[in-house]
Amino acid sequence: MATVTSSFSLSTLTQSSQRNFNFPSTRFLDSSNSRAFRFPLIFSSHYVQISPSRMVVRCSSSVTASDPPTVSETKLNFLKAYKRPIPSIYNTVLQELIVQQHLMRYKRSYRYDPVFALGFVTVYEQLMEGYPSDEDREAIFQAYVKALEEDPEQYRVDARKLEEWARAQNPTSLVGFSSREGEVEGILKDIAERAGGKGDFSYSRFFAIGLFRLLELANAMEPTILEKLCAVLNVNKRSVDRDLDVYRNMLSKLVQAKELLKEYVDREKKKREERAEPQKANEAITKATGQQQFSGM
């Protein structure tokens, strides 16, 4: 697995890559040429249980005496909260994400933390970049998080809090948080304790992306800094490296698809304009002819 380097920043992740990536994936078709694009199942790491009689999916590790919602119920809650159509290039990935996040959300060991929130907000903003309406983009965010029975405002507030804190750090202070007091320092200490076996902690790719966002904002992009931060947080660096690489590949595919969609829209617009020109010319001729006939009466 490729090691994360200083050139791998979230601000450049959306630049297209010419490499081909092969990952388990979901698929949609670009209507301009019917070519299929595959997006990696970037958060799929848990077994699921399927009931043939009801055709529902449950996270096998979180089914208890009080069963959590099914995946279909979570998706239905999202559709009820946001009823407007979503362009397929965004909706395809959103539907994949909500299924995978459902499985994370209802694991027994799941516990919300701000680094996870920062990771999700980062993924969401990258995914929805260029969405036609800022108002709709935020409404979709609200509906998505509420469908998972969590607080979208808390996600936003915690993500901003960590971003502001990280901007004030340097590589040394970032990895040395455990020696200081403060709100964010306390959050990171709590994560380190739980990840070290003193409480519930469920590692996820959102968490890995949240960590990397902290590194980016602190201008601490050296691979050794990520290694030190993972060590102090009791998180497996190999897992973080792997998940960041998969995330980068997913964004690369998304950028390619958006570019093709834009080309298709521009091409269709040009075709409509070309079809409209002869019609406008005929209308002008008809109008001129009618005026001449009227003036000759």
What is the per-residue pLDDT across 162-175, written as a single tens digit (0 to 9) for each?
999 999 999 999 99
Distance of CA 175 to CAs 40, 117, 145, 185, 209, Å? 31, 20, 30, 10, 16
Nearest to 216 by CA among 111, 126, 98: 126
pLDDT for the residue numbered 14? 42
| Per-residue confidence (pLDDT) for residue 284, from 0 to 100 | 64
Question: How many C-beta atoms lie closer than 10 Å to residue 19's C-beta?
Answer: 7
Instruction: Give Cβ neighbours of residue 171 (< 8 Å, ≥ 6 apart).
Output: 218, 219, 220, 222, 225
Which token pair is 123?
A: 């993924």
pLDDT at 250: 80
Rounded CA separation 104/112 (Å): 10
Kind of pairing, strands 56-59 and 48-51? antiparallel
CB 12 within 8 A of CB 251: no
How many whole angstroms from its chain centre is CA 235? Answer: 22
> What does each C-alpha distance from 211 to 104, 114, 208, 250, 260 come to in angstroms?
18, 10, 5, 18, 31
pLDDT score recorded for residue 64: 45
Q: How many residues does the chain have?
A: 297
67 C-beta neighbours (distance < 10 Å), count: 10
Residues of the chain with pLDDT under 70: 1-65, 280-297
pTM reported for the whole predicted model: 0.70
Q: Which residues pair with 40 in a beta bridge?
A: 25
